[in-house]
Chain A
Amino acid sequence: MKEAEKNIQEVVCDSPNSQETGERGLALMKYLILGVLFGIVFVKAEIISWFRIQEMFRLDSFHMYGVIGSAIATGIISIQLIKRFKIKSIAGEEIKIPKKEFRKGQIIGGFIFGLGWAITGACPGPLFAQIGSGFTVVIVTLLSAIAGTWVYGRFSDKLPN
């Protein structure tokens, strides 16, 4: 049981919420606005395009590598600045970035996701933006992704972790 709990604990690492103050109602609106901006960039830079993902995996275009690379560079610089200047969150809390532990899942699961990424032309974020852009059939893909998540959760204790 202890071991199982540990596994579950380790998996809770995707987008951890370190904020101690609760947020409800209007306080959540800022995430909606941020999401809208993010979705606009996804469409305008054609990141949600199945064709752009094909170009990336066929090494025919620099576009996606440029997007991901410059996003990471911006992220690295931002986090270094936050740490250097001990910037606090707007609730006045110390900003925490939980550590991601290495597990076999990052190899096996990562590989499985890669296969799906090339088929659907979308990681989870673009799935939502594709639906919003009018490719409503992607709702089926999203439901199937939720099913995949559920099946992983159901059998996670039986998989190598």
Chain B
Amino acid sequence: MNQFIDWISQPWPWYVAGPLIGLTVPALLILGNKSFGISSSLRHVCAMCIPAKIPFFQYNWRKETWNLVFVVGVLIGGFVATAFMSNPEEIIIATQTQADLAALGITDFSGLMPSDIFSWKNLFTAKGIVFFVLGGFLVGFGTRYAGGCTSGHAIMGISSLQWPSLVATIFFMVGGFLMTQVLLAPIMKLIGV
């Protein structure tokens, strides 16, 4: 039993996690004839709370309640894994990434998220505006404009061999590389991390 607890507390390698995530695709199809996708939940929240007579939000969101239930499950899963199965060791980050990030002013590598950035005390600072407000806005706007995110396009779309999803995934990566490799350093300098 102790061995099992030790094992489950370790970070899981990609060849365990990836196939488990991939199995969500047939699980949703077989359980309820549903295509996997997460960013649509954000749209359902808009349709439910602030439709404002916008045609894009006029549809039967009640039929899509399952999607909202699913993301609530993801939130609970995050809690369960952290509270009961968490790895006591520090996260091991590639040394090159650590060196690059240290040059940008990130010094705390102990948690899953850098505490230098992701804490409430930063909310009303330039850091908070860029990392929470702007970042979140780009994620919400971009995924909806693209018609899906990593789950809907990269996993569900490519798994069902749909080339538009491959195009979307390529541009997710292009945006991510540009932000990380080119824009992040000047932004961090500007907001004074």
Contact = CB atoms under 8 A, between A and B. Distances in A.
A89 B14 contact: no
B32 interface: yes
Contacts of B132: 120, 137-138, 140-141, 144
Contact of B147 (A106, A131, A133): A106
Contact of A76 (B28, B119, B159, B170): B159
Contact of A114 (B41, B80, B167, B171): B171
Contacts of A19: 32-34
Given A50-B113, A113-B142, A143 B136 contact: yes
A73 to B, nearest CB: 7
B30 A36 contact: no
Contacts of B167: 102, 106-107, 110
A68 B77 contact: no
A145 B42 contact: yes
Chain B residues touching A, majority SS: helix
B193 interface: no
A103 B114 contact: no
A153 B41 CA distance: 14
Given A102-B164, A102-B167, A114 B81 contact: no
Interface string A23-58: 110001111111111111111111111110111111
A15 B32 CA distance: 12
Contacts of A35: 69-77
A44 B85 contact: yes
Contact of A113 (B86, B101, B172): B172
Question: Considering residues B15, B57, B77, B178, which has the most beta carbons from chain A within 10 angstroms of its beta carbon?
Answer: B77
Nearest to A30: B31
Most buried by B among A24, A131, A133, A153: A153
Contacts of B158: 72, 75-76
A105 B147 contact: yes
Given A68-B150, A125-B151, A103 B164 contact: yes
Interface of A: 4-5, 8, 10-20, 22-24, 28-51, 53-58, 60-76, 78-79, 81-82, 87, 89-91, 93, 95-103, 105-125, 127-138, 140-154, 156-157, 159
Interface of B: 8, 11-43, 45-46, 50, 52, 54-57, 59, 63-67, 69-82, 85-86, 91, 93-94, 96-97, 100-101, 109, 112-114, 117-120, 122-123, 128, 130-165, 167-181, 183-184
